[in-house]
Amino acid sequence: MIYFYTIATVVVFLLLKKLLAPIRSPLANPLLWSIAFFMLLFSLSHLNFQHYQDANQLFIWLLEPAVVALALPLFNQVTQIRNQLKPILISCSIGVIVAMSSGLAIAYAFTSDKQLLLSLLPKSVTSPIAMAIAQQTGGLASLSAAVVIAVGLLGALCGFSVLKWAKITNLQAQGIAMGCSAHAIGTAKAIETGKEQGAFSSLALVISGILTAVLAPIFAMIIQSL
Amino acid sequence: MRTACLTLLTYLRSALIILLFLGLGKGITALSGLPIPGSIIGLLLLFTALTLRVVNYQTLLPTANLLLRYMTLFFVPVGVGLLQYGDLLSQYWLAIGLSSVIGTFTVLLTTGWVYQRLAK
Portion of chain A with pLDDT greater than 90, in percent: 47
Co-location of B33 and B7 in the same domain: yes
Comparing B27 with A57, the larger pLDDT belongs to B27
Q: What is the overall mean pLDDT for chain B? A: 91
Give me the mean pLDDT over the A1-15 stretch: 89
Segment B27-55 shows an average pLDDT of 90
What tens digit of pLDDT does each residue of A156-167 get?
999 999 999 999
> pLDDT value at position B54?
94
Long-range contacts of B48-52 (CB under 8 A, 24+ apart): B49/B21, B50/A71, B50/A72, B50/A75, B51/A75, B51/A78
pLDDT, tens digit (0-9, with 9 covering 90-100), for A98-136:
999 998 899 999 888 888 899 898 888 887 788 778 877
| pLDDT reported for residue A25 | 80
- Count CB neighbours of B97 within 10 A: 16
A151 to chain B, any CB pair closer than 8 A? The answer is yes
Domain that holds residue B113: 73-120
User: Which residues, other chains included, contact A8 with Cβ-Cβ below 8 Å and sequence gap of 6+?
Assistant: none
Say whether both B5 and B64 belong to one domain: yes
Q: Check whether residue B51 and residue B80 sit in a common domain.
A: no
Q: Are residues B25 and B11 in the same domain?
A: yes
CB contact B114 to A (< 8 Å): yes
With a cut of 60, say whether residue A61 has pLDDT above it: yes
Specify burial of residue A2 (Cβ count, 10 A radius: 0-12, 13-18, 19+).
exposed
What pLDDT, in 10s, does the model give residues A75-99?
988 898 899 999 999 999 999 999 9
Whether A132 has its CB under 8 Å from any CB of chain B: the answer is yes
Taking Cα atoms as reference points, which of A59, A126, A180 lies closest to residue B81?
A: A59
Virtual torsion, Cα A100, A194, B68, B35, nearest 10 deg: -20
Q: Examine the domain organization and report whether B62 and B77 are in the same domain.
A: no
Tally of domains within chain B: 2
* Whether residue B57 sits in one domain with residue B7: yes
For A112, counting Cβ atoms within 10 Å of its Cβ (0-12 exposed, 13-18 middle, 19+ buried), the class is exposed
Between positions 12 and 71 of A, the ones with CB within 8 A of B are 12-13, 30-31, 34-35, 38-39, 42-43, 49, 52-53, 56, 59-60, 62-71
Task: Indicate if B4 and B60 belong to the same structural domain.
Answer: yes
> What pLDDT does A156 receive?
92
Based on the fold, state whether residues B77 and B51 are members of the same structural domain: no
Q: What's the predicted TM-score (pTM) here?
A: 0.86
Mean of the per-residue pLDDT values of chain A:
89
Residues B42 and B78 in one domain: no
Judge whether A92 is closer than 8 Å to chain B, CB to CB.
yes
Is residue B12 domain-shared with residue B63, that is, in the same domain? yes
This model of the complex carries an ipTM of 0.92
Q: Verify that B11 and B54 share a domain, yes or no.
A: yes
Share of chain A above pLDDT 70, in %: 99
CA distance A47 to A168: 45
Q: Are residues B57 and B102 in the same domain?
A: no
Q: Please, which pLDDT band fits residue B89 given cuts at 50, 70 and 90?
A: confident
The vertex-A142 CA angle with A138 and A147, nearest 5°, equals 100
Q: Tell me, what's the pLDDT at A1? A: 57
pLDDT at A151 over 60: yes
pLDDT top residue among B21 and A225: B21
Alpha-carbon distances, residue A8 vs A2, A210, B84 (angstroms) = 10, 35, 20
